Amino acid sequence: MGWAARFLTAASFLAAGVLFAPDNPLLGSGSGRPNAGVIAAARLAHLLCFATAWGAALWVTFVGGVVMFKYLPRHQFGNLQGKMFPAYFMLISMCSAISVAAFAYLHPWKTASTIEHYQLGFLLAALGFDLSNLLVFTPMTIEMMMKRHKLEKDLGIGDEVGRSRNAEVAKTNPALASMNKKFGMIHGLSSLANIMAFGSLAMHSWYLASKLDL
């Protein structure tokens, strides 16, 4: 099944859920509030986008990336990450932006409580960290990675799985050692921004959990 078919399938299920929901955004609700349907739609958008961003970050950061690093040749792993990370940060940036917009609509700043101000701050922080990765750190990391791959291929390394020979070879190759230092700095900033975004979303998850009545 292609991406378009998958998207249409997901959209169809979402449309069916909205259509048969008690507070139908298209038909209004029986509460007498003229904007009840819009509020329900904003809540739905916030929950779906928050859950998508948090779940994607959890999987990529703590599961998918670790497994691929352990079992793929290092250059193959890097090339895959170079294709996946731009799409990943685009997805979670879009979801974070929608979550911010929906939460701000549901809780206008002038009438929001202090805790709601903090929660909007956490969501904005997550969006800022995600955008910094999407627009700055990830392109720089990929560019530096490709340069390092080229140098490593010339040195006959990079196809190993698991433990890298890079550090050993870098001891006798100043050019590789210098490139490692630059790559490590940029990659470290990218990883830090990703963890900070994940942490900000985790803080918001506690707020959402406190609103549930199970």
Q: In angstroms, rounded to a whole number, what is the distance separating the alpha carbons of residues 176 and 152?
A: 8
**Predicted confidence band at 32 (pLDDT cuts at 50, 70, 90)?**
very low
Between the alpha carbon of residue 173 and those of residues 6, 106, 116, 139, 156, the distances in Å are 48, 57, 54, 26, 13
Report if residue 91 sits inside a domain: yes
Report if residue 139 sits inside a domain: yes
Q: How many C-alpha atoms does 126 have within 13 Å on its Cβ side?
A: 31
Domains identified in the chain, total number = 1
**Domain range enclosing 178:** 34-210
Q: Is the pLDDT assigned to residue 3 strictly greater than 90?
A: no
Q: Is the pLDDT assigned to residue 19 strictly greater than 60?
A: no
Which secondary-structure segment (H or E) carries 41?
helix 36-59
Report if residue 7 sits inside a domain: no
Q: In this predicted structure, what is the pLDDT of residue 27?
A: 47
- Could you tell me the pTM of the whole model? 0.82
**Predicted confidence band at 118 (pLDDT cuts at 50, 70, 90)?**
very high
- Could you tell me how far CA 160 lies from the centroid of its own chain? 29
Q: Find the angle CA(209)-CA(210)-CA(214) to the nearest 5 degrees.
A: 70
Q: Is the pLDDT assigned to residue 166 strictly greater than 80?
A: yes
Report if residue 190 sits inside a domain: yes
Structure tokens at 167: 């550090």
pLDDT tens readout for residues 75-85: 999 999 999 99
- Mean pLDDT over 25-54 rounds to 76
